[in-house]
Amino acid sequence: MARKKVSVIGAGNVGATVAQEIAQRELADVVLTDIIEGFPQGKALDLFQTAPIDGYDSRLSGTNNLEDIAGSDLVVITAGFPRKPGMDRMDLLKKNLEIVGGVVDQIVSHAPDAMILVVTNPLDVMTYLAFKKSGFGKKRVFGQAGVLDTARFSAFIAMELGCSVKDIRAMVLGGHGDSMVPLRGHASVSGIPVSDLIPKDRLDAMIERTRKGGGEIVSLLKRGSAYYAPGAATAAMVGSILNDERRILPTCCFLEGEYGLERVYAGVPAILGAGGVEKVVEVTLSDEERDALHKSADHVKKGMEEIDQLLG
């Protein structure tokens, strides 16, 4: 049986790490694209020369020609203007509108049957742009945010308790930014609520650190932003879809009534399978969490309105 095909648009740190994670897990063959001549070819060659060492058979190729994404089962968009220290995610909107919009046009032309997984920031708004420009159904256009944000929250819990990350279950909803909503009521370690294990003030501090997680790494690196965890998070979503695992993962989805939200992209639990976003899962939220989710969605809606205005 032929291996699935995933195209990764953008061969920078995030895109290359996504390609590496997909190949190492043998989820699909990978086409890595970029506008810089020779750059994706070099990255892909380096990654495939790792295959005999790590023992994977996924094939990787690099190209500057987006026609080579033809036949893709899924296209991951990582291309965009990088976030810089002090830059709000929404500041990226105008810079990345042209980049992502152009990529989506190429997907429609060359891979009309593919699903689109957006990683470019500002994540929620760029996912809406891909949805609007592609004309693909909402099940086929979604964004990666919550898996990464949940991983950060889980890592902070493990650091605080000195326990294994394997026993932690957590969930972060909402927009991918300072308005995200880590769910304290749904976080546990081996079934024990974290509120029983961590004092409220410490848990509050960890939630705030999760919200600022990307900015913290940008500040520490001085140049560039996170890519190891974003790459792994993206590959987890790709695996659930291509292998039809039907995992429930926090995903940036287009909502039409779920959680009381209408026609907005926001991070919520969703079943990811062969059909893409197969079902949005509604969990019980506290009044505080529900209010925070709605405020986060309102923040995204402002960016969506700007997209509508810019596109006419």
pLDDT digits (tens), the chain, 312 positions: 679 999 999 999 999 999 999 999 999 999 999 999 999 999 999 999 999 999 999 999 999 999 999 999 999 999 988 666 676 656 677 788 989 999 999 999 999 999 999 999 889 999 999 999 999 999 999 999 899 999 999 999 999 999 999 999 999 999 877 888 999 989 999 999 999 999 999 999 999 999 999 999 999 998 888 999 999 999 999 999 999 999 999 999 999 999 999 999 999 999 999 999 999 999 999 999 999 999 999 989 998 998 998 887
| Amino acid residing at 220 | L
User: Are residues 157 and 36 part of one domain?
Assistant: no
Q: Among residues 122, 143, 164, which one ends one of the domains?
A: 143
Range of the domain at 166: 146-311
130 and 162 co-located in one domain: no
Statement to judge: residues 71 and 159 lie in one domain: no
Q: Are residues 114 and 150 in the same domain?
A: no
Q: Which of 102, 124, 143 is the last residue of a domain?
A: 143
Q: Do 191 and 221 have their domain in common?
A: yes
What's phi and psi for 173, nearest 5 deg?
-110, 180
24, 128: one domain: yes
Among this protein's residues, is 294 annotated catalytic? no
Which residue from 223, 242, 247 is spatially nearest to 146, judged by alpha carbons? 247
Regarding whether 54 and 124 lie in a shared domain, the answer is yes
CATH of residue 228's domain is: 3.90.110.10
pTM of the model: 0.95
Contacts of 259 (CB under 8 A, 6+ apart): 266, 268, 282, 285, 290, 293, 294
Specify the number of domains making up the chain.
2
Which of the following is catalytic: 176, 186, 294, 299?
176
Burial of 172 (0-12, 13-18, 19+ CB in 10 A): buried
Whether residue 151 is found in the same domain as residue 139: no
